[in-house]
Amino acid sequence: MAKTILIIEDDKFLRELIAQKLSKEDYEISEAIDGEEGMSKVKEEKPDLILLDLILPGIDGFEVLSQIKKDPALSPIPVIILSNLGQKEDVEKGTKLGAVDYLIKAHFTPGEIIEKIKNVLK
């Protein structure tokens, strides 16, 4: 069965680009454009992996991540942060909150992001 990946990202271009690439790799894709929509989709769909932007309208990514990790039904879902926030404090905060990986947008191509996702889902 295909694994489902939820992309919570408000940048339409980037979200669609990653979604297209992941679809080609036979993943099921779900998309959310803000923290609220992201949270409701996480609860409804229980995806196999979440790709999470931190700077989102409404609830930010840190809040989404901490809500996911507080919920025993959702906490096993791996979360990869994909963000422009590259400060050491942000990276540490993300990892402390339970993200499996923290990718800084400027440093990774979509292809490399897909590789990271594949490794986590192995």
pLDDT by position in tens, the chain (length 122): 899 999 999 999 999 999 999 999 999 999 999 999 999 999 999 999 999 999 999 999 999 999 999 999 999 999 999 999 889 999 999 999 999 999 999 999 989 999 999 999 98
The token duo for 113 is 């992001």
pTM of the model as a whole: 0.96
Give me the domain span that covers residue 47.
4-121
Neighbour count for residue 4 (Cβ, 10 Å): 17
Tell me the DSSP string of 50-75.
EEE-SS-SSS-HHHHHHHHHHSTTTT
Looking at residue 1, what is its pLDDT?
84
Give Cα 101 distance to the centre of its chain. 10
CATH number at residue 50: 3.40.50.2300
Query: Domain count of the chain?
Result: 1
